[in-house]
Amino acid sequence: MTYTNVDQVTANTAAGLALDAVEAAGHGHPGTAVALAPVAQLLFAHHLKHNPSNQDWSGRDRFVLSCGHASMLLYAQLHLSGYQLSLDDLKNFRKAESLTPGHPEYGHTVGVEMTTGPLGQGIATAVGMAWAQLSLADRFDPDYENSPLKSYVYVIASDGDLSEGISSEASSFAGLHKISNLIVIYDDNEISIDGNAKASFNEDIVSRYRAYGWHAVGVNQTSDGKIDIQKLDQELVAARKSDRPTLIALRTSIAYPSPNMTGMAATHGSPMGTAEVAATKLALGLNPDEFFQVPALAMENKRQVMNRGAELQQSYDQEILAYQNRQPSLAKQFHQLGNLDISSLSIPVFSLDTQIATRKASQQVLEELAKLPQLVGGSADLSESNGVAIKSLPIYHGVNSEFGDLAGRRLLFGVREHAMAAFCNGIALSSPLRPFAATFLIFSDYMKPSIRLAALMNLPVTFVFSHDSIGLGEDGPTHQPVEQLWSLRATPSLSVIRPADANETAAAWVEILNRNQPAAIILSRQNLPVITENPSVRNGAYVLYEPKKSPQVILIATGSEVQLAVNAAKELESNGLYARVVSAPCLEWFDEQPREYRDAILAGAPKIAIEAGSPVGWYKYVGSDGVVLGVNNYGASATPKYLFEKFGLTTENIVQIAKQLLD
């Protein structure tokens, strides 16, 4: 590769566009976008396998800007590579309703592979993206080194990304499993918002990543302070030949070639000012008096990149034809991954009065769902406890056959909850696979930023949380989730399902897969009686028990507390009082129902909500005149029976509260 004059002019143009966009907006992050413009140009013009005319091409490589605050680095490059992002879009940077928001947003801007901004998320998610590509190649085109099913994932990451703990979790996992199609360029500019990054982050990053098992190298600046673009190119070529993930620590100077502000922390998150912008444009060989300028050579670059993309896709199409001839049966299975069909499966049905924990019921359901080739996932070192130790799924363990199968679909994440969640986001972003991630509900707090991003990007990731309440018993308040249910329910676009029994659990899994959206299924540790037949889980809430006469009170419950509500309703009826029981496994799905349905379920009588967790959100459903029976403490170390009695979650207390409410 020769980094031509066209490349240099295009990179300088991209830097100028970043300067102008931030200046026009009055806010933004110009320093990194200016300094790394040559890096983005090298990637998009010479290394990334992509086609600007077809952003959804399945055979493409993925690029993740982990330091999402430098979004103009990506937007300028997308525009100059021929993606459908216009100069006017760049002029509207960070403005309302624009295609160029402050941080890249997946599904909003063409060419953006994931939503980034929370530091560390990009690199961690990229590990899952890269694994998904390797997994597809290993499963559907085994023993073929240059399979067209395998693509690369390129990341630009910052000091902030590598400071975040999630990057350590994810990088450790990637190195252990030799996820070799992951290439990270670390922008080693020694700058943070607070000033010199070495004041808070002064590690030997190359040695650290070598210790993880990565191929890690450093690339220094040239003698005049520029990025050594030729050396970087050589290392990128070498990275694609490595049998390990690659980290390239690239020494840079933020805001280079600004005459007066190169290396200054102020350029990280603030406009550089009209005078310095003009001076920097001069240093870039641009007209300081022209705004949003795109010279003819940069337009030539656009033509070249688009032509290259068309040729790459044409070559890929030929490789796919060869693959279909080489592996006709597997190729057919691969192409059918986009069609998830559970209609032929025999989802378990559980007999009434059977005693089984919903985590155990979930595992029985998953054993059947594992027949779906799309299903992949695992647990953060709690597979048996979470009910995801699916016996029919071989365990993946990379190239180390001592522990597992290269084409395995069950992952052992180790105690890395946060990286696990981001990893599964990456799988969903880059493949038709349907990932799940499992741990105890209390540890959802460790995963919340990744869960939030899954919801923000509307990714079909299922988060499996067992040990759902004080019902887990003697492990005590450190492990008893109280506020977590409403914390998850407060997350927009995330469905939170807490089944009452085994049959609701089975129905919940079916609905989750059919909806193709992010969901959290909340499961009990303790055994629960099977009390439902053909439950209407898809409606979110439904009448489970209807009294002989018009209800005088409505009992709403989820999970293990539904059985208490049913028992209370029966006892009330024996005393001449009539209670309807509403099982409400998923309030998000219930809120989607027509007003008429919701009124038919809840209107017409005072209401009591019963749940072994924080009561904070239930008043929306019971109203100011209703009662919420919940847990306003952190629990205690004792048997579930003792704890339910201690916090008043008993049939007797529900009956007493109902009588008081009616009085």
127 touches 423 (CB < 8 A): yes
Q: Cα separation of 366 and 362, whole Å? A: 6
Q: What is the pLDDT of residues 64-93, one digit of tens each?
A: 999 999 999 999 999 999 999 999 999 999
CATH T-level assignment (fold) for domain 5-309: Rossmann fold (3.40.50)
In DSSP terms, 157 is beta-bridged to: 186
Cis bond before residue 257 (omega within 30° of 0): yes
In DSSP terms, 411 is beta-bridged to: 378, 396
Query: pLDDT at residue 400 above 80?
Result: no
How confident is the prediction for the chain on average, in pLDDT? Answer: 96
Residue 450 tokens read as 């990744």
Domain boundaries, the chain: 5-309, 355-529, 539-662
Q: What percent of the chain has pLDDT over 90?
A: 94
323 in helix, strand or coil?
A: helix
Q: What is the pLDDT of residues 132-185, one digit of tens each?
A: 999 999 999 998 889 999 999 999 999 999 999 999 999 999 999 999 999 999
Catalytic residues: 417
Query: pLDDT at residue 398 above 80?
Result: no
Per DSSP, helices labelled H in 263-327 are: 266-269, 274-283, 296-326
Q: Cα separation of 484 and 467, whole Å? A: 12
Residues shown for the chain = 663
Q: Which letter, b or e, does each residue of 565-599 get, where b requires 16 or more Cβ atoms within 10 Å of its Cβ?
A: bbbbbebbeeeebbbbbbbbbbbbbbeebeeeebe
Q: Cα separation of 306 and 602, whole Å? A: 58
Q: What is the pLDDT of residues 184-199, one digit of tens each?
A: 999 999 988 888 888 8
* Torsion, Cα of 650, 653, 657, 662 (10° steps): 100
pTM above 0.85, yes or no: yes
Residue 404: band (very low, low, confident or very high) from pLDDT cuts 50, 70, 90: low
Q: Is the domain defined by 355-529 classed in CATH 3.40.50.970?
A: yes
Q: Where are the beta strands (DSSP E) in 168-271?
A: 182-188, 191-192, 195-196, 215-219, 246-251
CATH class of the structural domain 539-662: alpha beta
Q: What is the pLDDT of residues 592-604, one digit of tens each?
A: 999 999 999 999 9
Q: What's the rounded mean pLDDT across residues 120-126?
A: 98
Q: Where are the beta strands (DSSP E) in 66-204?
A: 153-157, 182-188, 191-192, 195-196
Give phi and psi for 279, each to the nearest 5: -65, -40
Query: pLDDT at residue 523 above 70?
Result: yes
* Intrachain domains 5-309 and 539-662 with the same fold: yes
Q: Tell me which residue has tokens 């220094």.
A: 220
